[in-house]
Amino acid sequence: MSALGVHVPAIAPGADAVSSHRERYLRRIAGAGRSKSTITAYRIAIDGYLEWAAREDRVGQLLDDSTIVDHLDDYRTTRSPAPATYHRRFILLRRFLRWVAQHEGVSDPFAELDAPPRPRQESDWLTIDEFGRVLEAAQHPLRARVGLAERDRLVLLALLTTGLRRAELLGLDWRDVDLDPRAPSILVHAKGNRPRRHPLAASLARELGELRRSRRPAGDDPVFCGLGGGRLQATVLATIIRRATERAGIEKRVTAHTLRHTAATWLRQDTGDARLVAEYLGHADLSTVSRYAHVAARELQTAADSLAAHAGLSATEEVRQDQLSLVSSRSEPGSAIPT
């Protein structure tokens, strides 16, 4: 018909076609090395859209801008997502549906849809007094379940003193933990699949050592567990933080990321060294920063112990001297920081 000068519009794909594209798209981003959390976020956003369209009998208009707008309005009304969460949902759907439209030969459904303004990153952090109150609340839960107070306290201390991301903490296995009293550390399987060696405060290492002796775990057992013994889940972690925060009377919205930001803030206040803070949080792989290697081990171990002291933990003098001795030996020219 096009040869006769008659334009035949492309037929919009239905639910089956979009579902097929979903599988291809998820395989594509997985093959590109995107993180598991990113792939999961895409899957949730896409499936949420398809399920909503099925309920609303809109599966024939999946690439109509009006359908997309109605879905996003419904998501915002029924879920009340945080601005950052809503913004991300919009961006994930836009990337996927634009990709579908391109492969189906139809017009871009987002051509006339403006993205919501990108929200500023959450900047809440806890003062030393506030974290102390949270920790105190965690140690005195309303429910008298065996191991609950001890588990919650250790989880909160670990998040604060290591500055780990939520997934990094939850993914720790015992084989990742090195409790050498002179230089305790953990192997963190970081965002983007770049493992890094991260120092542990001596006081936290001592508590982890006691936990390991009581459990006698296998190397592939998780460090942080639910009360049933399995790996601690993100939803339970969020509950631990929320429960302790609410009981402590903290009005700020506190998450695992808030505790990570708290660690960064305390270190910056203590040292004024943005490079140290970035390295402590894992924004750089110290094994590749060779010109800083002679100071990194000492600084990072000191940073870990400083955070622990602020959080109410302290190392013994014997452990502290052992650490300084080991770090000094690693600071000689030609020595390397093990990764």
Contact yes or no for 254/135 (Cβ under 8 A): no
Active site annotation includes 189: no
Active site annotation includes 206: no
98, 247, 257, 330: which one is catalytic? 257
What's the CA gap between 183 and 300, in Å, rounded? 11
Looking at the DSSP bridge assignments, the partners of residue 187 are 197
87, 94, 189, 191: which one is catalytic? 191
Q: What are phi and psi of 197, to 5 degrees?
A: -90, 125
22, 89, 165, 310: which one is catalytic? 165
98, 292, 298, 320: which one is catalytic? 292
Which of the 8 DSSP states describes residue 313?
Answer: -
Distance of CA 168 to the CA centre of its chain: 7
Active site annotation includes 24: no
Active site annotation includes 191: yes
Residue 223: C-alpha distances to residues 155, 209, 230, 254 (Å): 10, 11, 10, 23
Angle, helix 234-247 to helix 256-271, in steps of 10 degrees? 70
DSSP 50-105: HHHHHHTT-GGGTT-HHHHHHHHHHHHHHH---HHHHHHHHHHHHHHHHHHHHHHT
89, 166, 206, 260: which one is catalytic? 260
Enter the tokens of residue 332: 């000689």
Residue 125: C-alpha distances to residues 41, 57, 132, 180, 274 (Å): 25, 45, 13, 31, 17
- Residue type for 249, please? G
Which residues are tagged catalytic?
165, 191, 257, 260, 283, 292
